[in-house]
């Protein structure tokens, strides 16, 4: 499943390859891909045809491209996309053969490369939505917390909010209302860097632990971004079909029984919310059972 750095890689690809181009034709190959466009497929096609995609933005794992009318004025709407579990936005030459799971195709008036939405499992989707107010964020996305890769991320507000929560620190990292876009992989990697077990109660973290944790989140996201995303899921590729290479650099995630890169102790796997958590038993000792129990009450 694409996590935040992968989606940011896709955003940068869209900014480079798609922004400023005018849609000539939209083909929806599978209605499920536009199910979030409530007015239906034909309306989706009409809302985009002849419009210019002016930029590419991201909030959490959502992407949006604001639309301009044929006369160049902003339309107050945007093409909004979510990649779901397996979605890809690919920029392809028109001569490239159709992908097996091609769901939608956008051609442009310059007759250059097409934008294709490919999604095997079709949990992702596209819609045209209204942009709200002055900040020009789609209304439906306004509640999603800004993430640490966003220039406007507020470190002090995040630190204060984290320490006010009465929860376990890994749950807090995955809480999209607190911090955007941190999934299971990057949460585990950031916790390892900060030497914190994911079950540590947030309201007992010191200021310096919170600062280390946030540094860990930013470093791991920044490094993943520099590598083009994690992409050990073979379904994920960026807009040009290139896989990322960050998975080679994971310290703990998916590394059960391999040596901790810091101390050599075998990495442990624990179950967590129907998934797995990976950590080093020595660098990241579990909180004492008594304090963990009192937090749960």
Burial of residue 271 (number of CB atoms within 10 Å: 0-12, 13-18, 19+): exposed
* Candidate ranges 119-127, 159-167, 205-213, 261-269; the one touching Zn ion (CB under 5 A): 261-269
Residue 145 makes CB contacts below 8 A (sequence gap 6+) with: 60, 176, 177, 178, 179, 180
Is 70 a catalytic site residue?
A: no
* Candidate ranges 73-81, 213-221, 236-244, 274-282; the one touching Zn ion (CB under 5 A): 274-282
Question: How far, in Å, CA of 168 to CA of 148, rounded?
Answer: 20
Give the residue with the Cβ less far from Zn ion, 155 or 263. Answer: 263
- If one asks whether residue 83 binds Zn ion (CB under 5 A), the answer comes out as no
* Contact (Cβ atoms closer than 8 angstroms) between residue 258 and residue 279: no
Of the candidates 3, 92, 129, 189, the residue annotated as catalytic is: 3
Is 29 a catalytic site residue?
A: no
Site for Zn ion, residues 277 to 296, rule: CB under 5 A: 280, 282-283
Of the candidates 61, 103, 200, 268, the residue annotated as catalytic is: 61
The least distance separating Zn ion from the CB of residue 266, rounded to whole angstroms, comes to 9
Question: How far, in Å, CA of 250 to CA of 264, rounded?
Answer: 15
Nearest to 215 by CA among 194, 242, 184: 194
Is 168 a catalytic site residue?
A: no
Site for Zn ion, residues 188 to 247, rule: CB under 5 A: none
User: In the chain, at which residue ranges do the beta strands (DSSP E only) sit?
Assistant: 21-28, 52-53, 57-59, 62-68, 74-82, 87-92, 102-108, 114-119, 125-132, 137-138, 268-272, 275-279
Give the residue with the Cβ less far from Zn ion, 105 or 197. Answer: 197
Among 263, 285, 293, 294, binds Zn ion (CB under 5 A): 263
Give the residue with the Cβ less far from Zn ion, 94 or 259. Answer: 259
Among 82, 191, 260, 278, binds Zn ion (CB under 5 A): 260
Give the residue with the Cβ less far from Zn ion, 84 or 261. Answer: 261
Q: Which residues bind Zn ion (CB under 5 A)?
A: 260, 262-263, 265, 280, 282-283
Q: Which residues are catalytic?
A: 2-3, 61, 275
């Amino acid at each position: 499943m694409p996590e935040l750095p992968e989606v940011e890689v896709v955003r940068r690809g869209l900014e480079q390859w798609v922004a400023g181009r005018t849609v000539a034709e939209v083909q929806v190959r599978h209605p499920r891909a536009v199910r979030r466009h409530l007015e239906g497929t034909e309306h989706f096609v009409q809302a985009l045809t002849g419009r210019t995609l002016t930029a590419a933005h991201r909030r959490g794992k959502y992407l949006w491209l604001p639309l301009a009318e044929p006369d160049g004025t902003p339309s107050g709407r945007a093409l909004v996309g979510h990649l779901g579990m397996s979605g890809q936005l690919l920029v392809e030459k028109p001569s490239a053969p159709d992908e097996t799971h091609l769901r939608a195709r956008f051609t442009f008036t310059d007759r250059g490369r097409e934008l294709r939405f490919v999604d095997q499992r079709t949990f992702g989707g596209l819609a045209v939505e209204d942009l709200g107010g002055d900040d020009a964020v789609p209304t439906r996305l306004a509640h999603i917390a800004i993430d640490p890769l966003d220039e406007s991320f507020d470190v002090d507000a995040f630190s204060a909010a984290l320490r006010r929560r009465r929860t376990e620190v890994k749950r807090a990292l995955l809480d999209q209302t607190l911090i955007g876009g941190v999934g299971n992989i990057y949460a585990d990697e950031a916790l390892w860097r900060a030497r914190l077990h994911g079950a540590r109660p947030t309201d007992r973290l010191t200021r310096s632990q919170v600062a280390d944790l946030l540094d860990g989140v930013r470093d791991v996201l920044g490094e993943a971004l520099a590598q083009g995303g994690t992409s050990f899921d073979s379904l994920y590729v960026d807009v040009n079909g290139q896989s990322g290479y960050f998975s080679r650099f994971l310290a703990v995630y998916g590394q059960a029984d391999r040596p901790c890169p810091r101390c050599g102790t075998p990495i442990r796997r624990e179950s967590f919310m129907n998934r797995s958590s990976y950590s080093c038993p020595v660098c990241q000792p579990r909180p004492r059972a008594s304090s963990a129990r009192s937090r749960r009450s």
